[in-house]
């Protein structure tokens, strides 16, 4: 079978040379173990951070080791009574076609009418991140103005739609006109294409003349600076990600207007979704309902084949995805 290993640590934007497709032989199944064939794997921006050798909230990848990440697979051989052949499982052993595992790192997927890939996106970690940021970090309320950056991505597209369901006015920023049109079709009130706008600050002021109550931060840099300038007094910022900085080779200077935090008495809170996982059941129940009612629409961008997983991953930093970026194996 095949795995993808980290071949070298990226400097700046990752490239194909940082990855290596490797042929591997699987061990025989022992009692209690299963053989899993992966069907879908996720590529996520946070994986870029794990390619750097540093201490963080999650351990770095090691050169020469198989990469890891969220994936959905099917049990195709079993020596475990609780995991019959045919069971669909979610786990962190992405970036490989097959693997042998004990039951412990595998979670059987619940019976659902949705495609299993939804559990890597809208019903999985990214959807849960959007829900957590708005409900548990920023406490968005009806009638407020929400600004979402990277608004058409996996997290952003759910954050925008949840914002509308929660009764907010939603402003999104994206990197193409096509993405902007797609967001407007989802009901987002105002969309900014940050690549064709020469003054993000002014564009935001125009889109939200009343000011921003909640900023769902996915990007950092200029987006954070523009948001700070346009926040209302006592506004809240849920700091989810800063993708504009993940490939930086030198530390980027912070926004020059951080004093806005004081002047506007802002509440800025970072979060990692896994710290909130005890609420995952509540989230999936609500999300399942919204999907069934057609209140949340799902967009995915799919690359085919394990060999194309590095391109899918690199594509995240080039804006190649609408909705969740996935690899179908
Ligand atoms: P996305 O699906 O949003 O994919 C990344 C998108 O970011 C791209 O499509 C691109 O869209 C945009 N982007 C890339 N580079 C830049 C840039 N330099 N400036 C502005 N936009 C850029 O990824 P996710 O939804 O998975 O993740 C979104 C954010 O949430 C990331 O920052 C990620 O790290 C964070 N995250 C945090 C979690 C947590 O627990 N805190 C959990 C999950 C994700 P465009 O064409 O619009 O530029």
Q: How far apart are CA 92 and CA 306, in angstroms?
A: 15
**For residue 244, which atom of ligand 1 is closest to its CA?**
18
97-132: per-residue pLDDT in tens? 999 999 999 999 998 899 999 999 999 999 999 999
- CATH numeric code, 2-121+299-328: 3.90.180.10
The pLDDT, as a whole number, for residue 41 is 98
Q: How far apart are the first and last CA of the chain?
A: 12
> Average model confidence (pLDDT) for the chain?
97
What does the block give as tokens for 71?
A: 């994936």
Across 3-22, average pLDDT: 97
Question: What's the residue count for the chain?
Answer: 329
Query: Which run of H or E residues covers position 234?
Result: strand 231-239
Best of 218, 245, 279 to mutate for ligand 1, by most ligand atoms within 8 A of CB? 218
pLDDT at residue 199 is higher than 90? yes
What does the block give as tokens for 279?
A: 């609420």
Q: How far apart are CA 246 and CA 281, in angstroms?
A: 31
Using CB distances shorter than 6 Å, the residues near ligand 1 are: 44-46, 126, 129, 150, 152-156, 174-176, 179, 218-219, 240-241, 243-244, 271-273, 316-317, 319, 321, 325
Best of 45, 176, 272, 273 to mutate for ligand 1, by most ligand atoms within 8 A of CB? 45
The percentage of the chain sitting over the pLDDT mark of 90, rounded to a whole number, equals 96
Are 211 and 235 in contact by the 8 Å Cβ rule? The answer is yes
Fold of the CATH domain 130-272? Rossmann fold (3.40.50)
The pLDDT, as a whole number, for residue 252 is 84
* 3-state secondary structure at position 312: helix
Task: Please give the ipTM for the structure prediction.
Answer: 0.99
Partner residues linked to 4 by β-bridges: 21
The pLDDT, as a whole number, for residue 160 is 98
Q: With left for phi above 0 and alpha for psi between -120 and 50, is residue 273 left, alpha or beta?
A: alpha
176-190: per-residue pLDDT in tens? 999 999 999 999 999
Residues sharing a CB contact under 8 Å with residue 76, sequence separation 6 or more, in sequence order: 35, 36, 37, 85, 98
The percentage of the chain sitting over the pLDDT mark of 70, rounded to a whole number, equals 100
Residues sharing a CB contact under 8 Å with residue 207, sequence separation 6 or more, in sequence order: 171, 190, 191, 192
Domain boundaries, the chain: 2-121+299-328, 130-272
């Amino acid at each position: 079978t095949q795995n993808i290993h980290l071949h070298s640590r990226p400097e700046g934007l990752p490239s194909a040379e940082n990855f290596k497709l490797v042929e591997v032989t699987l061990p025989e199944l022992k009692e209690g173990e299963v053989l899993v064939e992966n069907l879908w794997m996720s590529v996520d921006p946070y994986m870029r951070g794990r390619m750097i050798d540093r201490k963080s909230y999650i351990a770095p990848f090691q050169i020469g080791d198989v990469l890891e990440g969220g994936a959905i697979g099917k049990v195709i051989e079993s020596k475990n009574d609780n995991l019959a052949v045919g069971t669909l499982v979610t786990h962190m052993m992405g970036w490989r076609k097959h693997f042998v595992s004990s039951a412990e790192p595998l979670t059987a997927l619940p019976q659902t009418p949705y495609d299993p890939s939804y559990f890597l996106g809208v019903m999985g970690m990214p959807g849960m991140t959007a829900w957590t940021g708005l409900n548990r970090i920023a406490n968005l309320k009806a009638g407020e103005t929400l600004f979402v950056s990277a608004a058409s991505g996996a997290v952003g597209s759910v954050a925008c739609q949840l914002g509308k369901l929660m009764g907010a006015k939603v402003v999104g920023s994206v990197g193409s006109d096509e993405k902007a049109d797609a967001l407007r079709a989802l009901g987002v009130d105002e969309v900014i294409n940050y690549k064709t706008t020469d003054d993000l600050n002014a564009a935001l002021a125009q889109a939200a003349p009343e000011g921003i109550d909640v900023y769902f931060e996915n990007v950092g840099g200029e987006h954070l600076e523009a948001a700070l300038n346009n926040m209302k007094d006592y506004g809240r910022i849920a700091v989810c990600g800063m993708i504009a900085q993940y490939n930086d080779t030198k530390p980027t200077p912070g926004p020059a207007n951080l004093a806005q935090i004081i002047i506007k008495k802002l509440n800025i809170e970072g979060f990692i979704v896994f710290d909130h996982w005890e609420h995952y059941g509540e989230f999936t129940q609500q999300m399942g309902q919204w999907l069934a009612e057609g209140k949340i629409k799902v967009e995915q961008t799919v690359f085919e084949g394990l060999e194309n997983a590095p391109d899918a991953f690199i594509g995240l930093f080039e804006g190649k995805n609408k909705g969740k970026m996935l690899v179908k194996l």
